[in-house]
Chain A
Amino acid sequence: MPPEPGFDLSAYFPIFLYLAIILGFAGTTLILAHVVGPRRDTSVKLMPYESGMDPVGDARQRFDVKFYLLAIMFLVFDVELLFLYPWAVVAYREGGLPAFLSGPVFWGVLVFIALLLVAYVYDWRKGVFRWR
């Protein structure tokens, strides 16, 4: 029977176990700190900290659109990165890519990176990376 190359869930079982232990630890710590620590609430103590002054307005205000542009750029690059990982794994290892595909894939990836660079240069010229 030809085995499926690749995925095997049992390799991940230790991680699930580890995650359960970590989550348990985090929860216990939070509850323990809540139970053990003293609580003496005063209205001033429960105010948001604003350098000793009474807080002015709400903290959740509008913010610079730069952060939004940055998030979009991050998405573009990160998705590109995700596409490059599988290629990087199979490209030059033994029994990875068949020889006749080696050339086309090489040029294909170069074009892929070049396309991204065009967007990158455009963003640079538009001043996305300039913070003032």
Chain B
Amino acid sequence: MHDFNLFYALATIVGVFAVIMGTCAMLIFIERKVAAWVQDRLGPNRVGPAGLLQSVADGLKFLLKEDIIPRQVDKVLFLMAPAIAMCTALLAFAVVPFGATSVPPERPDLMVIPVSGPVIDPMNDPNVARLVTKFADYDRRTAQYRESYQFVIAPGLDIGIVFVFAITSLAVYAIILGGWAANNKYSFIGGLRSSAQFVSYEIPLGLSILGVVLMTGSLNLEKIIWDQTGGGWNIFVQPLAWLIFVTAGLAECNRVPFDLPEAEQELVGGYHTEYSAMKFAMFFLGEYTHLVTTSFLNVIVFFGGWHFPFIATAESGWLIKLLVIAVKVACFILFFMVVRWTLPRFRFDQLMALAWKVLIPLAIANLICVMIVKQLGWSVWILGPVSIGILIGAAWLSVQPMRVEKASAAM
């Protein structure tokens, strides 16, 4: 279906790579500035004008510091872990559209064309003729799709969001290998906790997206954006799904309030206690790239991607679409940063209870609601109030301490 265009692919990859690296460097600086504002301090302001070169100085220092490999570590795994952390975070971005995209044409299905009679004369059969025109149309649109530049590294990949989940879930190997290889008690406990957290939150993350997939009928992120340009953003239709998605996404990023693996007060540095210099920087880079990817996914799946009413519609130019999606993503990243400096950290049992006892049942309830609405052919707009209803119900259940106590005492 897609001819592989080496020039487009290389240009996009180099561009994306440079932008992600630059963004991550800037994000570290911005994070420190936001922290400073929240805590009424000045933040970094010595290196360069207004401290803007702080990230460059940090990067150089990471490179020039001593690269300690402790004696007791498992050397191969110890070196592999930061590389895995960085590679998986970067690779997940491959299918994320970061600007204007059009929808990849869908191949017409042979199965649904009914046979018109017992005898088929392929030359004169009207169904065959219809099929032939369908395929001709498909070929024409494919050629069109291929000619126009798409703002995504791998355009038209039909597994889309599943690819992102598959790759980001590999990041758990980095954490558990890093924790295991370091042969340090803090690292080991941090790695264990972190892997438990990772796998737990992956399930609500995957379940929350199912509702959107049911409505769109595709896993392709370009198609998901396109679907929202006509009928309103998914956040209005499925607010509950978004809430689950953003919570689980925060946990997958290892950010406060879910940064248990790095709880300094109890675990020193968690799984990266023994890491120093560039290897530590690679873990860091992976984490920030993951943050960027999560923000992009939030924007694309629930907030309409490059679409914004009256400003960026389907007919707008590519520059305005790029700007709209960039602004949306920036808002999300700032939101995540403010959350980090606002909320205290969870306790580990609370963390696990939130994933297994709250998010998973809510996600399944949401999925069943979407199923029923789609099956009965109702308008999807019913789902918004229903979502809020479920949320209020869950909140009401959660403030019934007596009942919960009794239930656990009876066990």
Specify whether A and B are partners: yes
Residues of chain A at the chain B interface (Cβ within 8 Å): 2-3, 5-6, 8, 10-15, 17-19, 21-23, 25-27, 29-30, 32-34, 36-40, 43, 45-51, 55, 58-61, 63, 67, 70-71, 73-74, 77-78, 81, 84-85, 88-96, 98, 102, 106, 109-110, 113, 117, 120, 124-125, 127, 129-132
Quick check: A18 and B91 within 8 Å, CB to CB?
yes
On whether A37 and B1 interact (CB within 8 A), knowing A88-B214, A106-B375, A113-B364, the answer reads no
Please measure, in the bound complex, the distance between the C-alpha atom of A43 and the C-alpha atom of B132, giving whole angstroms: 76
Please measure, in the bound complex, the distance between the C-alpha atom of A41 and the C-alpha atom of B295, giving whole angstroms: 42
Quick check: B153 and A95 within 8 Å, CB to CB?
no
Quick check: A60 and B180 within 8 Å, CB to CB?
yes
Q: Which residues of A contact B388 (CB under 8 A)?
A: none
Please measure, in the bound complex, the distance between the C-alpha atom of A3 and the C-alpha atom of B63, giving whole angstroms: 52
On whether A49 and B273 interact (CB within 8 A), knowing A29-B278, A78-B203, the answer reads yes
Q: Which residues of A contact B153 (CB under 8 A)?
A: 14-15, 18
Quick check: A59 and B183 within 8 Å, CB to CB?
yes
Quick check: A5 and B214 within 8 Å, CB to CB?
no
Distance to closest chain A CB from B207 (angstroms): 7
Q: Pick from B46-54, B66-74, B233-241, B304-312 the stretch touching chain A.
A: B66-74
Quick check: A91 and B210 within 8 Å, CB to CB?
no
Quick check: A125 and B411 within 8 Å, CB to CB?
yes
Q: In this complex, what residue of A is CB-closest to B199?
A: A74
Please measure, in the bound complex, the distance between the C-alpha atom of A47 and the C-alpha atom of B274, giving whole angstroms: 10
Q: Which residues of A contact B79 (CB under 8 A)?
A: 30
- Residue B149 CB within 8 A of the other chain: no
- B274-330 residues at the A interface, CB under 8 angstroms: 274, 277-279, 282
- Residue B409 CB within 8 A of the other chain: no
Distance to closest chain B CB from A58 (angstroms): 7
Please measure, in the bound complex, the distance between the C-alpha atom of A113 and the C-alpha atom of B255, giving whole angstroms: 31
Distance to closest chain B CB from A40 (angstroms): 7
On whether A77 and B360 interact (CB within 8 A), knowing A23-B87, A50-B185, the answer reads yes
Distance to closest chain A CB from B368 (angstroms): 7
Nearest 9 CB-CB pairs, A to B? A93-B217, A33-B278, A131-B349, A14-B9, A46-B71, A74-B199, A26-B83, A88-B213, A129-B356
On whether A12 and B278 interact (CB within 8 A), knowing A5-B110, A92-B215, A95-B112, the answer reads no
Q: Which residues of A contact B24 (CB under 8 A)?
A: none
Q: Which residues of A contact B408 (CB under 8 A)?
A: 130
Please measure, in the bound complex, the distance between the C-alpha atom of A47 and the C-alpha atom of B112, giving whole angstroms: 67
Q: Pick from B10-18, B31-39, B244-252, B334-342 the stretch touching chain A.
A: B10-18
Quick check: A39 and B67 within 8 Å, CB to CB?
yes
- Residue B65 CB within 8 A of the other chain: yes
Distance to closest chain B CB from A46 (angstroms): 4
User: What are 14 A-to-B residue pairs whose CB atoms are below 8 Å?
Assistant: A18-B153, A26-B83, A39-B66, A45-B68, A60-B180, A74-B200, A88-B210, A89-B218, A92-B217, A94-B217, A113-B367, A129-B357, A130-B349, A130-B408
Q: Which residues of A contact B162 (CB under 8 A)?
A: 85
On whether A8 and B1 interact (CB within 8 A), knowing A17-B9, A21-B13, the answer reads yes
Please measure, in the bound complex, the distance between the C-alpha atom of A59 and the C-alpha atom of B79, giving whole angstroms: 19
Quick check: B2 and A91 within 8 Å, CB to CB?
no
On whether A47 and B71 interact (CB within 8 A), knowing A10-B4, A11-B154, the answer reads yes
Distance to closest chain B CB from A106 (angstroms): 5
Distance to closest chain A CB from B369 (angstroms): 12
On whether A48 and B203 interact (CB within 8 A), knowing A17-B9, A127-B411, the answer reads no
Quick check: A15 and B214 within 8 Å, CB to CB?
no
Please measure, in the bound complex, the distance between the C-alpha atom of A65 and the C-alpha atom of B225, giving whole angstroms: 43
Please measure, in the bound complex, the distance between the C-alpha atom of A60 and the C-alpha atom of B411, giving whole angstroms: 34
On whether A15 and B188 interact (CB within 8 A), knowing A70-B200, A131-B352, the answer reads no
- Residue B157 CB within 8 A of the other chain: yes
Q: Which residues of B contact A127 (CB under 8 A)?
A: 411
- Residue B175 CB within 8 A of the other chain: no
Distance to closest chain A CB from B348 (angstroms): 6
Partner of A32, one of B184, B214, B268, B278: B278
- Residue B55 CB within 8 A of the other chain: no
Quick check: B277 and A11 within 8 Å, CB to CB?
no
Distance to closest chain A CB from B170 (angstroms): 12
Quick check: B188 and A60 within 8 Å, CB to CB?
yes
Distance to closest chain B CB from A124 (angstroms): 7
